Amino acid sequence: MRVLMAQPRGFCAGVVRAIQIVERSLEKFGAPVYVRHEIVHNRHVVERLERMGAVFVEDLQEIPDGAVTIFSAHGVAQSIIDEAISRGLPVLDATCPLVSKVHAQGKRYVTRGRTLILIGHAGHPEVEGTMGQVGAPVHLVSSVEDVARLELPDNAAVAYVTQTTLSVDDTRGVITALEARFSDLEGPDVSDICYATQHRQSAVRELCETVDLLLVVGSSNSSNSNRLREIGVEQGVPSYLIADGSELDPAWLDGVQAVGLTAGASAPEELVLNVIESLRRHSDVEVEQMDGVREDIEFRLPPELRTPAPRKAVASSGR
């Protein structure tokens, strides 16, 4: 059986930065540190950080006074920031810089007097954070049908921003519907959507041209991982989202000669390798790496974490 591995796959720069913030905070300040929401949407990552001393909470009220507090990669509403400030919590912000860019775009459009439309999925933490950052009413749409239902005059001065993990194709369709309806519309180009989302989706489309089965490694609550699976289905390839190799169903492999393997932006490479090992238990496997984009983007850590933690002194035994 051939296993073709998508390129790129797995961790993006925003996820790497967020995880490093938690790890370095634990090194510098000691355990526990408190993280509001899962730092990224992957249970394996969260559980590893929990073993190191991170405590994940959904409400700032769960964080003791004075405890080091980290905001997840998805971003938070301004009200959460204000609450942390009012309590004097020492905060490290792990919001992905590309999500922060969306926040800045939204604020800029509102400052210019435009009504803001957010293309995204209701209930997703990134969407909740963006809607709470803008400081004005935000209209959320996720489909062409939602655009038609917007209670806004067609000549209103409007602007849009997007959730970073959405499908480029789906977003393009919604933007086209906005352009068709509103005569005074501004917004970023489709290419302004998260680079990692675009690269991983393009790689999956290419992968699906040559495989009989697509496996996407990622968590069920990961928006970008779910979208990768959906793209496989749209391409006519049986496609499954699995957390790790333990979720591989041998029945999926019947008659399959080539398996496509990728991972969402919050899934570590070790889980991809775990899936390959699971495949090896059912068949002889030949692994091939696809050609694709090589990502070399890095995002800077907060200033407090750019210097290494001081080394702990080792007490002499006197011998």
Torsion angle, alpha carbons of 283, 284, 285, 286, to 10? -150
The residues annotated as belonging to the active site are: 126
Q: Report the alpha-carbon distance of residue 50 to residue 68 in Å, rounded.
A: 15
Q: Which of the 8 DSSP states describes residue 191?
A: G
- 195-205 burial, b at 16+ Cβ within 10 Å, e below that, comes to bbbbbbbbbbb
Rama region for 95: left / alpha / beta (φ>0; ψ in -120 to 50; rest) = beta
Q: 160 in helix, strand or coil? A: strand
Q: Report the alpha-carbon distance of residue 195 to residue 37 in Å, rounded.
A: 24
Sheet holding 54-57, edge to edge: 54-57, 33-36, 69-71, 91-93
What φ, ψ does residue 120 adopt, rounded to 5°?
A: -175, -175
Alpha helices, H only, 138-295: 144-149, 168-181, 195-207, 223-234, 269-280
Q: Report the alpha-carbon distance of residue 70 to residue 25 in Å, rounded.
A: 9
Could you tell me which residues are beta bridge partners of residue 54? 33
